[in-house]
Homo-oligomer: A and B are copies of this chain.
Amino acid sequence: MKSSRSLFNPFRSAIRIASLFLFVAMFMGCSNSGANSDSKTSQNQENSRPEWAIAIHGGAGVISKDLSEDIRAGYEASLEAALSHGTERLAAGESALDVVEAVVQILEDDPRFNAGRGAVYTAEGVHELDAAIMDGRNRAAGAVAGVTTVRHPISLARLVMDETSHVLLMGAGAEAFADETDLERVSNEWFDTDNRRRPLERAREREAERASTERASATQAVFLEEKASRYGTVGAVALDKEGNLAAATSTGGMTNKRFGRVGDVPVIGAGTYADNATAAISCTGTGEQFIRHVVAHQIASRMELAGESLHDAASYVVQQRLDPGDGGIIAISHTGEIALVFNSSGMFRGAADANGRFEVAIWE
């Protein structure tokens, strides 16, 4: 393999052994919220299938534990607001599909997360947004890539699913489709935030340094892009009172991306998947790895074909197939089991269900 990933090969064995230990701690932390000191929990211990359930994420990656209390509280408040909204609507009997779209809209509007307003900048200093939604009832799906003026890309993906015979629209064509809808449009600058401009400036400085010292081409600059800058996505998965599943994911992609790079989000089966027979899944992390391993569909397939529980399937794929640090997934099975699994240092996430669970968390 000639990609940059091969550079890490010599370290993989050691990392895999270390990750085994991490895995145990992480799995317990993720699956048992009562043991998770970073979560706010009011879970009761019922094991019955919940009448409804929801999980959300706001990206996975290297999240410093030195975050100030203010910043940390801000993230938690954002996650709680989105989770509360979804919780209320599911409790009121709304469909999983409508709820995941609405919750992702809230996360897209929140400048804390890399989707919609607050999306990272491309190398050209603009924003190109990707989103996907999938309906577990019938595998209907819609996705958009490289959208630039649609306030809620997740809703454009929904309209691709509902109003065309297509699944994936890209770039200027997706914008032209948006022109035929009633969706709210904004200037590309509307997505600007200072928090995202600084990483772009740092990435450009690093490139300039490399170009002067290593005569690196633009291609190599992309090639060498730091892993840490790739993270950040929002997503929601839900099980409604009718027993239907749905998944939605939205992202600004990676800081300083070039060449129309598209990650896993709009790739159905990679970053987003839903099937009532198995689970609804939304991913976040190094998009390319989620594409190569068809992560969301691989988890669903292990449930369907190997009879694994959602947790076993998700943990196997995230911990054994992906590389340490690649990211994580949120998922809900058709029985209401919730999985929040990641192999990075943190994942902004939340989960709630009709049995009284309501928690948000950042680290293990």
Interface residues of A (CB under 8 A from B): 1-5, 135, 137-141, 145-146, 161-174, 176-177, 180, 217-219, 222-223, 225, 258-263, 267-270, 273, 287-288, 291-294, 297-298, 301-302, 305-306
**One of B177, B223, B270 near A259 (C-beta < 8 A):** B177
Residues of B within 8 A of A166 (CB): 222, 259, 261, 288
Interface centre among A138, A139, A162, A166 (most CB of B within 10 A): A166
Query: In the bound complex, what is the Cα–Cα distance between A223 and B180 (angstroms)?
Result: 13
**One of B137, B268, B287 near A294 (C-beta < 8 A):** B268
Interface of chain A, main secondary structure: mixed
Please determine whether B219 and A180 come into contact, CB atoms closer than 8 angstroms. Answer: yes
Query: In the bound complex, what is the Cα–Cα distance between A260 and B172 (angstroms)?
Result: 7
**One of B137, B138, B294, B305 near A269 (C-beta < 8 A):** B294
Residues of B within 8 A of A267 (CB): 168, 267-269
- 15 more A-B residue pairs beyond the given contacts A171-B172, A174-B259, with a C-beta to C-beta distance below 8 A: A1-B135, A139-B293, A140-B292, A145-B145, A163-B219, A164-B219, A164-B222, A164-B223, A167-B291, A170-B171, A170-B262, A177-B260, A267-B268, A269-B269, A269-B270
Query: In the bound complex, what is the Cα–Cα distance between A170 and B143 (angstroms)?
Result: 14
Query: In the bound complex, what is the Cα–Cα distance between A1 and B244 (angstroms)?
Result: 13
Please determine whether B138 and A1 come into contact, CB atoms closer than 8 angstroms. Answer: yes
Residues of B within 8 A of A3 (CB): 140, 161-162, 164-165
Please determine whether B270 and A176 come into contact, CB atoms closer than 8 angstroms. Answer: no
Please determine whether B139 and A174 come into contact, CB atoms closer than 8 angstroms. Answer: no
Residues of B within 8 A of A137 (CB): 1
Query: In the bound complex, what is the Cα–Cα distance between A140 and B138 (angstroms)?
Result: 30
Chain B proximity of A310: nearest CB distance (Å):
15
Please determine whether A141 and B292 come into contact, CB atoms closer than 8 angstroms. Answer: yes
Please determine whether A170 and B141 come into contact, CB atoms closer than 8 angstroms. Answer: no
20 A-B Cβ contacts within 8 A?
A3-B165, A4-B165, A139-B293, A163-B223, A165-B222, A165-B225, A168-B261, A168-B262, A168-B267, A168-B291, A169-B262, A170-B170, A173-B260, A173-B261, A174-B260, A177-B259, A177-B260, A267-B267, A267-B268, A269-B291
> Residue on B with the closest CB to A165?
B4
Interface centre among A174, A258, A305 (most CB of B within 10 A): A305
Residues of B within 8 A of A161 (CB): 2-3
Q: Given A169-B262, A225-B165, does the pair A180, B146 have CB atoms closer than 8 Å? A: no
Q: Given A163-B223, A180-B218, A218-B180, does the pair A140, B261 have CB atoms closer than 8 Å? A: no
Residues of B within 8 A of A222 (CB): 164-166
Query: In the bound complex, what is the Cα–Cα distance between A170 and B336 (angstroms)?
Result: 37
> Residue on B with the closest CB to A287?
B167
Residues of B within 8 A of A297 (CB): 269, 294, 297-298, 301
Residues of B within 8 A of A140 (CB): 1-3, 292
